[in-house]
Structure formats: structure tokens, C-alpha cells
């Protein structure tokens, strides 16, 4: 409840809090996260003159009913019998535990059903001058979770949107000291029409740690504060990335061999100006082998007071073994980098969070005579353009940057200031 958030509109007050795995295990007695269930506590205080109907599917289209969440958490008779049988191999009298365990499991599961039912949101209909509170059981989100409480009344929808930080995961960007990276004396302020000039000074590509081999090309620039980047991208379905540690690396390797989904899997480091990426975001399919992922680097550039992040984005289409990483796996990328880049633009426009956008030639990449391959040898092709996106914290229709023009006297596209 210390992390609870509250909003009020039209005489209705909604409070939301999201449990971490550790908290839900303590409250419900079982690890709900292992079953991919996350309890969200909601209190709805309706002081208006009309009733409202709470729409749970708008929190999560795949939400779990209370009874379903309890059933998924039940102790299993088969496991208890198996465990007792294994003990009996060493200690024969342990066979007597089998019938005891059978009845103990039945009693525990009935008690579990009551616990879930007692703490769930009791009614989806909130009458005038009344309050309902309790848990709704959603799919698991780590890091940043978006919670939409949608109430339907006779005048239409009354919608409350929350952005909640869920404890437990350590995103990669939390390991960076952004304030110390660039003292105020090194910050560079640009106006709108000066962006193309800055972009022409960028190297073509990211590199390895030594800086002597090119990696993925720079094809993205995002203008916005760190919190806005995380909030707006996650609102479009992107997930934060765990910091790369031995534990997260082993978890990624496990997902690779089992083919499981890992929405927060670490991203291997690439380097720009001697630094590994400051922030990585990804959108995974049902398997770790396939995902869109982008890397962003914090820069000293300020555009209208907003930090500029340069980055690279590509689409992983498979996983291969490699001796080049300590966890022995890496992703194979889709050679069409422009599709992944343009996907980002379409995704953010869909959630109405793009204020302006434009494309600028990556002149260093265009003039390079080196083979277009990343650090793990995957070939790629591109139109050599960098997408520049200015984020908007308010819903908006995007506009084109004024410098996004095409020279009519050239058969090829050139974007000039």
C-alpha cells in the first residue's frame, strides 16, 4: 500500500497497487508468479449518483478469474504421492504418509480457495455512494506495469490509467549513473533545424568494446526524458530488459534451450563512444528466439530541453550457439533493419505518443565500404536512414520535422536542414 496510486474524476476515486512475486507469495501462501499470475489490488469509491460496471478485460484481456487463479495454485495429489514414494524407498514407513498427504492436500486446497475468494474484488458492479475493493488476477508484468481501470456508466466510459513500478526486477538502465555521465558544462543544446547537422557527426555504427569492429548501424534517435521513454514504450507493449548478470544470463540460456518466453531477457552489449547501451527495450513473441529489441545511448545533446538518445534496432528471428559470449548464445537478426525501425514509428504512432518525426541519412554508413555485417557475422541491408522521434506525453497526432524535406533536383532522397 506504500506504493498505491490514487486518481479521482467525476466523483469516482480509484486506488491501485500491484504485488511483487515476493509479496504475493507472502499474502497468498504460494508463488503466483510461477503460475504467471499477478494480483492487482483495486479500490473503487463511487460517490456519484450513477452505478458503474468494472470491465476487468481492459486491465488484461487474459485476466484470471478468482477461482481459476486459486485452482492454478493448488497443491497436486500426484506430486505429494510421488514425493512420499521417493522417501519410502529410503524409509519404508513413509508409505503411511500417502493417505495423510491426500487428505492434507484436499484441506489445504479448500482453504486456499477461501483465501482467494475472501480477498478478491467482490463485485464488478459499483453502486452509487458505495465502495468495492479487492484483488484482480492478471498476467505477470515485471518492471513497469500499465493498469487501466475502465468503468462503464450510463454516460459512457470513465477510465483511469496508472503506470506502476513492480519491485523485484533490476532493469539495465538502473545500473547507469546518467547525471555523472555528462556534467552541465558538456551539454550541447540544439534547436530543431540543427538536428541534421548533429546526426552527420555520428559514426555509422555501434562497435565492440575495443571499438575496432563495427556492430549494428545507428538507425534511431529518440528525444525525451528517461521516464518518458520507459513509460511510453511500455505503453506500446515494449518491455524493459534485465541487467546482464550471471543469474539473468543463466535464465536466458534456460529459455533458449526450452523455447520458453522471456520478455525481459538481457541484451548483449554493443558500444557507442566507449559505453555499452544505457537502455534496452524489447518486444518478444512467445519464444525468446524471436523478438524486436532496441538499444539506446544517452547523449549530451539537448533538444528543446529534452535529452537525445541515439540507438539501433533490429529484429531477432532465431538463436544460435556462439563462443563469442560467456553464455554461449546469441540471436540471429532479420537482415531487413528498416522494417524493425519503421515498426517502432508505427507502434508509437498507434498509441499517439509521437509529437514529430523525420528521417536523416546516416552519411557515415552510406559512404562506408565495409561489408554490412554485425559483430556476430549476420548480414543486413538498409536504406541508410536514421529515424528521429520526438516523444509526446500527451495523446497527439504526429507532425513532420521541418527539416524533413526531399531535394527535387536529386534522383535519390536527401534530407537536409
pLDDT at 415: 39
Instruction: Indicate whether 407 pLDDT > 50.
Output: no
pLDDT at 318: 78
Q: How many CB atoms lie within 10 A of CB 318?
A: 12
- Strand, coil or helix: what is 149? strand
Measured between alpha carbons, how far is residue 90 from residues 80, 83, 85 in Å?
A: 16, 12, 9
Using left for φ > 0, alpha for ψ between -120 and 50, and beta otherwise, residue 250 falls in alpha
DSSP 8-state secondary structure symbol assigned to residue 64: B
Are the C-beta atoms of 381 and 333 separated by less than 8 Å? Answer: no
More confident residue, 305 or 261: 305
Closest CA to 302 of 204, 197, 191: 191
Instruction: Indicate whether 329 pLDDT > 80.
Output: no
Domains of the chain (ranges, CATH numbers): 5-75+108-166 (2.60.40), 172-400 (no CATH)
- Strand, coil or helix: what is 42? strand
More confident residue, 295 or 198: 295
Instruction: Indicate whether 262 pLDDT > 70.
Output: yes
What is the per-residue pLDDT across 285-300, written as a single tens digit (0 to 9) for each?
776 667 899 999 999 9
Q: How many CB atoms lie within 10 A of CB 205?
A: 23
Instruction: Indicate whether 377 pLDDT > 70.
Output: yes
- Strand, coil or helix: what is 140? coil
pLDDT at 409: 42
The predicted model gives 265-289 an average pLDDT of: 87
Instruction: Indicate whether 351 pLDDT > 50.
Output: yes
Render 252-280 in DSSP notation, one character per residue.
Answer: HHHHHHHT---TT------EETTEE-SEE
What's the predicted TM-score (pTM) here? 0.84
| Residue 224 CA to its chain's centroid (Å) | 17
Instruction: Indicate whether 243 pLDDT > 90.
Output: no
pLDDT at 410: 41
Question: Cβ contacts of residue 221 below 8 Å, gap of 6+?
Answer: 195, 199, 308, 309, 310, 311, 386, 387, 388, 389
Instruction: Indicate whether 52 pLDDT > 90.
Output: yes
CA-angle at 346, arms to 342 and 349, nearest 5°: 140
Instruction: Indicate whether 22 pLDDT > 60.
Output: yes
Lowest mean pLDDT among 25-39, 61-75, 234-248, 374-388: 234-248
pLDDT at 92: 57
Residue 416's pLDDT band (boundaries 50, 70, 90)?
Answer: very low
- Strand, coil or helix: what is 249? helix
pLDDT at 253: 61
Residue 69's pLDDT band (boundaries 50, 70, 90)?
Answer: very high
**pLDDT mean across residues, the chain:** 87
The predicted model gives 95-122 an average pLDDT of: 84
What is the per-residue pLDDT across 6-17, written as a single tens digit (0 to 9) for each?
999 999 999 999
Lowest mean pLDDT among 139-143, 149-153, 190-194, 199-203: 190-194
pLDDT at 361: 92
- Strand, coil or helix: what is 114? helix
Q: Which cell numbers in the block locate residue 180?
A: 555523472
pLDDT at 369: 87
Instruction: Indicate whether 250 pLDDT > 50.
Output: yes
The predicted model gives 219-228 an average pLDDT of: 96
Lowest mean pLDDT among 39-43, 204-208, 327-331: 327-331
Using left for φ > 0, alpha for ψ between -120 and 50, and beta otherwise, residue 324 falls in alpha
Closest CA to 347 of 226, 234, 220, 228: 234
More confident residue, 13 or 305: 13
Residue 219's pLDDT band (boundaries 50, 70, 90)?
Answer: very high
Share of the chain above pLDDT 90, in %: 65
Residue 153's pLDDT band (boundaries 50, 70, 90)?
Answer: very high
Q: Which cell numbers in the block locate residue 294?
A: 532496441
pLDDT at 413: 45
Rounded distance, CA 267 to CA 329, Å? 11
Amino acid at each position: 500500500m506504500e506504493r498505491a496510486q490514487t486518481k479521482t474524476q467525476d466523483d469516482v476515486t480509484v486506488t491501485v497497487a500491484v504485488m511483487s512475486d515476493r509479496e504475493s507469495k507472502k499474502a497468498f501462501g504460494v508463488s503466483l508468479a510461477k503460475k504467471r499470475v499477478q494480483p492487482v489490488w483495486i479500490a473503487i469509491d463511487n460517490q456519484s449518483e450513477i452505478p458503474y460496471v468494472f470491465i476487468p478485460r481492459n486491465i488484461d484481456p487474459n485476466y484470471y478469474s478468482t477461482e481459476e487463479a486459486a485452482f492454478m495454485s493448488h497443491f497436486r495429489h500426484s506430486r505429494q504421492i510421488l514425493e512420499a514414494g521417493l522417501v519410502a524407498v529410503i524409509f519404508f514407513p513413509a508409505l503411511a504418509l500417502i493417505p495423510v498427504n491426500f487428505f492434507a492436500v484436499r484441506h489445504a486446497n479448500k482453504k486456499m480457495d477461501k483465501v482467494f475468494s475472501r480477498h478478491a474484488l467482490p463485485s464488478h458492479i459499483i453502486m452509487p455512494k458505495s465502495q468495492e475493493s479487492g484483488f484482480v488476477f492478471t498476467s505477470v508484468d515485471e518492471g513497469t506495469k500499465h493498469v487501466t481501470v475502465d468503468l462503464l456508466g450510463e454516460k459512457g466510459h470513465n477510465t483511469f490509467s496508472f503506470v506502476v513500478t513492480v519491485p523485484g526486477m533490476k532493469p539495465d538502465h538502473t545500473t547507469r549513473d546518467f547525471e555523472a555521465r555528462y556534467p552541465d558544462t558538456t551539454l550541447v543544446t540544439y534547436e530543431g533545424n540543427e538536428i541534421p547537422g548533429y546526426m552527420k557527426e555520428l559514426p555509422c555504427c555501434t562497435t565492440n568494446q575495443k571499438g575496432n569492429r563495427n556492430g549494428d548501424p545507428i538507425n534511431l534517435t529518440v528525444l525525451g526524458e528517461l521516464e518518458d521513454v520507459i513509460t511510453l514504450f511500455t505503453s506500446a507493449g515494449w518491455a524493459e530488459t534485465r541487467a546482464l548478470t550471471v543469474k539473468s544470463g543463466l535464465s536466458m540460456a534456460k529459455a533458449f534451450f526450452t523455447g520458453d518466453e522471456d520478455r525481459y531477457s538481457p541484451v548483449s552489449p554493443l558500444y557507442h563512444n566507449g559505453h555499452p547501451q544505457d537502455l534496452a527495450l524489447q518486444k518478444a513473441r512467445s519464444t525468446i528466439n524471436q523478438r524486436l529489441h532496441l538499444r539506446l545511448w544517452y547523449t549530451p545533446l539537448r533538444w528543446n530541453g529534452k535529452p537525445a538518445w541515439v540507438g539501433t534496432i533490429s529484429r531477432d528471428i532465431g538463436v544460435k550457439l556462439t563462443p563469442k559470449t560467456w553464455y554461449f548464445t546469441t540471436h540471429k537478426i532479420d537482415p531487413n533493419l528498416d522494417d524493425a525501425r519503421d515498426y517502432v514509428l508505427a507502434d508509437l504512432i498507434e498509441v499517439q505518443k509521437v509529437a514529430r518525426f523525420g528521417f536523416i541519412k546516416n552519411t557515415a554508413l552510406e559512404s562506408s565500404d565495409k561489408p554490412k555485417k554485425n559483430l556476430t557475422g549476420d548480414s543486413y541491408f538498409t536504406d541508410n536512414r536514421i529515424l528521429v522521434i520526438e516523444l509526446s506525453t500527451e495523446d497527439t497526432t504526429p507532425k513532420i520535422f521541418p527539416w524533413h524535406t526531399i531535394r527535387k533536383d536529386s534522383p535519390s532522397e536527401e534530407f537536409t536542414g
